[in-house]
């Protein structure tokens, strides 16, 4: 079993960090999204608030903060077409596009996706960078144009009966994969919004919280049931491998060389690889004192990882 890896550097954020990403066009910068719930708030606008914070790596010196206009940050992803443009999923039904320019976070525009009372839980870019898929607390998956005359929702489907926690495009961009609190993983056609398949009930023992496509026929899923699963998409979807990771598998991120970073909630982070003996844990980070929701791998230095811990507000850099 891999020995836990210590942090190279860490800092305490002003608010609880929910997600993070290295900035592709300047990976010495780390963008962190935060989520704060105000229990005593009396209005929807003040109930959940968020920020985007920019840090310089590896020291994690703070360089900028932007207060988000439409609530707390649930997810942030950078465009495959522009290393400075990011889509931010917010708690009041809006996707905000921002640019990271030098050491500043600049709002490009806000795109209303659903009604204000509905949270956007995850966001994923289409391979061409002209649209994003988002998921919601009421089980919806939406395809949303984010530029030009086609801005706004193109279609929506409701493949989940509970919260739709996560979404990802296939590498070709023709399908989206979504996972929900109903413990189901669903495949939807991007052009028609027609459902192409779903996992059988009971295939996951709890909500599906992470999906990651690996080629045309292989899909990885993570679940609250603390298990990582590898799915063969040829014909009827079937799980060909399972690996318990010791914590709810909240997010999955592919690394150079075939390894995968798993953000495992109360258990911290795991780096895994799949070989002839199955999925094996090769590294772990466990300095979180609460939920590890965010994790990302440095694009130019694949051994450098950023992770965060929610309630104790910790942001850390560590090496595999």
265-292 residue pLDDT tens: 999 999 999 998 999 999 999 999 999 9
CATH of domain 7-319: 2.130.10.10
Confidence band (pLDDT; 50, 70, 90) for 45? confident
- What are the domain boundaries of the chain? 7-319
3 state SS of 148: helix
* Residues 91-119, mean pLDDT to the nearest whole number: 97
* pLDDT at residue 49 greater than cutoff 70: yes
User: What local confidence, expressed as pLDDT, does residue 72 receive?
Assistant: 98
Say if residues 287 and 309 touch (Cβ distance below 8 Å).
yes
pLDDT greater than 70 at residue 1:
no
Confidence grade of residue 236 (pLDDT, cut at 50, 70, 90): confident
Global confidence as pTM: 0.97
Which whole number is the average pLDDT over 93-118? 97
Separation between Cα atoms, residue 314 and residue 124, nearest integer Å:
25
Q: Note whether 230 and 185 are within 8 A (CB).
A: no
Residue 58: asked if its preceding bond is cis (omega within 30°), the reply is yes
């Amino acid at each position: 079993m891999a020995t836990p890896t210590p942090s190279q550097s860490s800092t305490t954020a002003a608010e609880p960090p929910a997600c993070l990403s290295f900035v592709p066009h300047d990976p010495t910068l780390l963008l962190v999204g935060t989520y704060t719930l105000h229990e005593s708030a009396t209005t929807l606008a003040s109930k959940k608030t968020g920020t985007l914070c920019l840090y310089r790596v590896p020291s994690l010196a703070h360089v900028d903060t932007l207060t988000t206009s439409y609530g707390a940050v649930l997810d942030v992803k950078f465009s495959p077409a522009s290393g400075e443009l990011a889509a931010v999923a917010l708690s009041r039904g809006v996707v905000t596009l921002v640019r990271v320019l030098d050491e500043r976070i600049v709002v490009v525009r806000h795109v209303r996706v659903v009604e204000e009372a509905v949270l956007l839980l995850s966001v994923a870019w289409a391979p061409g960078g002209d649209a994003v898929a988002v998921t919601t607390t009421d089980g919806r998956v939406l395809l949303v144009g984010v530029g030009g005359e086609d801005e706004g929702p193109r279609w929506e489907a409701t493949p989940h009966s509970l919260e739709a926690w996560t979404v990802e495009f296939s590498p070709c961009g023709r399908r989206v994969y979504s996972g929900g609190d109903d413990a189901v993983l669903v495949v939807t056609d991007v052009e028609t919004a027609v459902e192409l398949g779903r996992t059988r009930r009971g295939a996951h023992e709890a909500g599906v919280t992470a999906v990651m496509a690996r080629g045309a026929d292989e899909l990885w899923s993570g679940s609250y049931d603390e298990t990582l699963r590898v799915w063969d998409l040829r014909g009827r979807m079937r799980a060909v491998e399972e690996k318990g990771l010791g914590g709810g598998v909240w997010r999955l991120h592919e690394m150079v060389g075939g390894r995968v970073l798993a953000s495992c909630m109360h258990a911290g982070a795991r780096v895994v690889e799949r070989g002839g003996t199955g999925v094996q844990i090769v590294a772990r980070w466990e300095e979180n004192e609460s939920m590890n929701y965010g994790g990302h791998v440095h694009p130019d230095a694949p051994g450098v990882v950023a992770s965060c811990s929610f309630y104790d507000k910790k942001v850390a850099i560590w090496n595999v």
